[in-house]
Structure 1
Amino acid sequence: MQARIYKPAKSAMTSGRGKTKAWVLEFVKNDAKRSADPVMGWTSIDDTSGQVRLSFDTQEQAIEYAKSEGLTFTVTPSEERKRLVKSYSANFDANRKQPWTH
């Protein structure tokens, strides 16, 4: 079985960074068969392992778990955001790189 290890990005709906600290291992199965329920119209799948998400504190723990279970896995490296530190007074600086808009 194949797994994917990654560090989740923050939600686009909030500015908070909650639930982005842990590494996640989730199972990937591309050949799972999906079918539509004729009565309700819901989509069902024959393999529920895609619903399992395991959280780990570090990337190494997730890799170690995948190796111990005999999983083939891919690791997606996390990209740390670049933080631009500015103060309010930088908006009125004489050496400002952007032109005034007012």
Structure 2
Amino acid sequence: MAARIYQIPKNAMQSGKAKVDTWMLEFEQSEARKPDPLMGWTGSGDTQAQVQIKFPDKDAAKAYAEKHGITARVYATPPKSLKLQAYADNFR
């Protein structure tokens, strides 16, 4: 069972930094998705791909994965860079 651990990104409609410190453990899909012959919706029999577990920090997520024998890859959060720009720069 493989999983990935990552930090939840900020929502595009969100200007603040609330709930950005939360880490997520998600299981990777073990089988390919295929279209349903009747309705045409895509799906698979893998129910583990629907499981998402939230943790307060990266170490807690790693400890949970080690305790339950889950091979997990940790994805680092990209560095945040601010582009400081004045409103007057729009008219140059």
TM-score relative to the length of structure 1: 0.72
Aligned-partner residue type, residue 22 of structure 2: A
How high is the sequence identity, in percent, across the aligned residues? 34
User: Which one scores higher on RCO, CA 8 angstroms, separation ≥ 6?
Assistant: 2
Q: 1:36 to 1:64 in 2, by over 3 A?
A: same
- Cα shift at 1:42: 0.9
Provide structure 2 residue ranges, at least 5 long, that are not aligned to the other structure.
none
Contact 1:33–1:46 under 8 Å retained in 2: no
Structure showing greater Rg: 1
Aligned-partner residue type, residue 59 of structure 2: E
CA RMSD of aligned residues (A): 2.4
- Cα shift at 1:85: 6.1
- Cα shift at 1:37: 1.6
Give every structure 1 segment of 4 or more consecutive aligned residues whose post-TM-superposition deviation is greater than 3 Å: 83-88
3-state DSSP of counterpart to 1:78: coil
TM-score relative to the length of structure 2: 0.79
